[in-house]
Each structure stands twice: as C-alpha cells, then as structure tokens.
Amino acid sequence: MVVLSRPALDHFSSIKTCKPTAGLFAGIPVVDFADPNAKALITRACQEFGFFKMVNHGIPLATINRLESLAIEFFSLPQSQKDAAGPPDPFGYGNKRIGPNGDIGWIEYLLLHSHKPAAGAGAFFDSRRNFRAAVEEYVAAVKAMTVAVLEAMADGLGIEPRNALSRLVRGEDSDSCLRLNHYPPCPEVQPLTGQNLIGFGEHTDPQIISVLRSNNTTGLQICLRDGTWVSVPPDHSSFFINVGDALQVMTNGRFRSVKHRVLTDPTKSRVSMIYFAGPRMSERIAALGSVMEAGEESRYVEFTWAEYKKSAYKSRLADYRLGQFEKK
Ligand code: GA4
C-alpha cells in the first residue's frame, strides 16, 4: 500500500484550496492614477483583492509596443535560436519548465534581470542591441510608475516616511526582474474538468509588487478571498498590479499577496510582460512599525530577501511560501 506522507498531503491540499472558475469577472478594482483619490482606491483594492487595474498610468504606448513587438519577434524565432538563450538559471529562455522543481506550463518565456538584462541570456543580447535598449526603456518607465504606486500605498496606509516602500526598489541593487511570457494557443482541455490547459500554475509572487501588461488575450485568473477563481478581462492599454509576499509581510497582512494563475486560450496567443519589483538581497523584510497599531504583534518572523528567495527556489509554484515564516 502506498502511504502518502504528510508533506505530500499538504502539497495536494494547497493545490485544491481554490474553487473552480466562475467566468469573466466584472469586479476587478480599476484605479485611475490621475484621480486625486487614487491612494485610497489602491489601498482598498490591495486589502480586499491584492490586485487592481491601473488606467491613466502615463507609460507611453510606444515604449510598450516596442518591447512587445521585439518579444513577439523573439518567440517567432526557430526553436534552436531561442534555446541558445536558455536554459533559465533562473534568467534566460525557458520552455514549459517553470522554476527548478518540476513545475510545467503551456508557456515559453524570457526571464531577465531588470538591471543586468544580459545576465543568463548568454550572448543573446550582444547581437540584439535594439532588444536590450527596449528592455531598458520599458524597465525605466515601469520602475518609475512602481515607485509612484508604492508611495501612494504608503500614503494610503499612513506609512512614514512616505518612501519607506519605494526606496526598496529604487536602487540599482534592487533584485527586480522582467518576465516576457508567450502562451501559444492550446486547443486541448484538461481531461477531468474540461477546463483550458494551465499556462502558468497557481502561485503568489514573492516580491513587493508585480506590474503586468498583456495583450488582449484572456487567461489571467485571480483567486478571491472566498476561494473562487475569476478571470480577469484583458486590457492591453492598462497595467495590472499584484501585491507580492514581501508586501504582505511589511503591511503585517493588511495587503494580501494574491494567488493567481494563467489558463491557455484555445485559439489566441497570450503575450505578457511582468516587472517584479524586489528589494536588494540584504534587505530585512519585516512588518513596518508605522503600519502597526499599539500593541499589535508582527505575524511573521523577520527574514532577508536573500533568505526568502532561496527558500522560494526550493519550493513548487503552488506552495504556500510564507507559511514557514509565520509566527506560531
Ligand atoms: C513566481 C513569480 C516570478 O515569475 C518568478 C518565478 C520564479 C521563476 O520562474 O524562476 C519561481 C516562482 C516565481 C516562485 C517559486 C519558484 C521561483 C519559479 C518557482 C518554482 C520569477 C519569481 O520570482 O518567483
């Protein structure tokens, strides 16, 4: 008889925590960044969903389109040329395999360090100066927006000083990265559920926040508080912002690190570009004193970003990574 060990059962239950999808969701919070009330709306969205859509973000369409076209051009190359920019370590080109621990998705991607885009992609960028320049231009624009969003969050939560969050991602030594994803169309469905195949399995992002832009193909789903999976209506002219694990810890659980995943589309390719804003490796991640109420205890033990990243790379996508840092 095969006896399932406790960790195996835990892993299984963590995969089953969310109920099946309930179709296109009209309730995603939308924040107009030019609205004087933006900080309150952002704060409410991060408390309730850990996720919101940002319009009027100020990032030039040309900057977005330039990188997207080059990404599409790259993903259209013969397989052998793409493979030359891989395998991911974690940076570089990856195909179907996600992370080092056996996760698989219907996806190919380029994972780049935000300040050293050539890291891991070998000689790939040597012959593609325009690609590298487009990455740098995009990262600079998205990073500036990220800084402004983090300042709005700090304002909304009454965190002092106002740059307590944004300073973490500002420096050249911040451990941020850019992911260019291509989900080819996939007519197959999952045998038992009849659902579209998984492009990127359910997970939370380890970083502070993630800033996602995709083309107009559906696929992204988030898990609501009650455990329901809902599909996010795509919008190529907007950005979607996710709260990550590090921000959940720094806000002592006020902001939720949102569980999300991507399902494939039967007929259309999905292309997404995600900036993951992380702190420098030695940064201590702990609940910020100014968010806490008198007498409030921090819910997590303190750790450095390097420690969290190391443990993340030992985990599977669906694992609850913050679990081992929760105070008992
Ligand atoms: C999820 C968020 C980002 O895409 C990422 C991913 C990383 C990777 O693909 O290399 C991880 C994943 C992500 C979390 C757990 C580990 C690490 C794959 C994996 C199984 C770049 C990140 O920082 O964490």
Q: How close is the Cα of 56 to the center of ligand 1, in Å?
A: 29
pLDDT category at 22 given cuts 50, 70, 90 is low
Q: How close is the Cα of 34 to the center of ligand 1, in Å?
A: 32
Report the 3 state secondary structure along 212-233: EEECCCCCEEEECCCCEEEECC
Higher pLDDT, 16 or 94: 94
Residue 142 to residue 276: CA distance in whole angstroms: 10
Which pLDDT score, from 0 to 100, does residue 18 have? Answer: 53
- Whether the full predicted model's pTM is greater than 0.90, yes or no, is yes
Give mean pLDDT, residues 234-260.
Answer: 98
Which pLDDT score, from 0 to 100, does residue 128 have? Answer: 84
Share of the chain above pLDDT 90, in %: 84
Question: Which of 111, 214, 260 to probe ligand 1 with, by most ligand atoms within 8 A of CB?
Answer: 111
User: Closest by alpha carbon to 287, among 277, 304, 302?
Assistant: 302
Q: Answer for the pair 118, 130: CB distance below 8 angstroms, yes or no.
A: no
Answer yes or no: 270 catalytic.
yes
Give mean pLDDT, residues 83-103.
Answer: 95
Which pLDDT score, from 0 to 100, does residue 121 have? Answer: 67
Peptide bond into 161 cis (omega under 30): yes
Dihedrals phi, psi of 166, to nearest 5 degrees:
-65, -30
Nearest-atom index, ligand 1, CA of 88: 10
Q: Tokens 């996760």 map to which residue?
A: 103
Given a cut of 80, is residue 76 above it in pLDDT? yes
Given a cut of 80, is residue 206 above it in pLDDT? yes
Which pLDDT score, from 0 to 100, does residue 19 have? Answer: 54
- Residue 111's Cβ-side half-sphere holds a number of Cα atoms within 13 Å equal to 18
Nearest-atom index, ligand 1, CA of 103: 20
Give every CB contact of residue 289 below 8 A, 6+ residues apart in sequence: none
Q: How close is the Cα of 64 to the center of ligand 1, in Å?
A: 23
Given a cut of 60, is residue 23 above it in pLDDT? yes
Which pLDDT score, from 0 to 100, does residue 115 have? Answer: 81
Question: Which of 276, 305, 316 to probe ligand 1 with, by most ligand atoms within 8 A of CB?
Answer: 276
Give mean pLDDT, residues 191-207.
Answer: 93
Residue 9 to residue 313: CA distance in whole angstroms: 20
- Predicted ipTM beyond 0.90: yes
Which pLDDT score, from 0 to 100, does residue 2 have? Answer: 29
Task: Tell me the pLDDT tens digit for each residue of 138-174.
Answer: 999 999 999 999 999 999 999 999 999 999 999 999 9
318 lines ligand 1 (CB under 6 A): no
Which pLDDT score, from 0 to 100, does residue 20 have? Answer: 55
Nearest residue (CA) to ligand 1, atom 17: 313
SS3 content of the chain, % helix, strand, coil (to 5): 30, 25, 45
Given a cut of 90, is residue 6 above it in pLDDT? no
Given a cut of 70, is residue 109 above it in pLDDT? yes
Given a cut of 50, is residue 255 above it in pLDDT? yes
Q: Which of 213, 261, 270, 321 is catalytic?
A: 270
Which pLDDT score, from 0 to 100, does residue 171 have? Answer: 92
Share of the chain above pLDDT 70, in %: 91
Task: Tell me the pLDDT tens digit for each residue of 112-145.
Answer: 998 877 676 667 777 788 999 999 999 999 999 9
pLDDT category at 8 given cuts 50, 70, 90 is very low
Given a cut of 50, is residue 328 above it in pLDDT? yes
Strand locations in the chain, DSSP E? 19-24, 30-32, 51-55, 92-98, 103-113, 177-183, 198-203, 209-214, 220-223, 228-231, 239-243, 260-263, 270-277, 284-285, 303-304
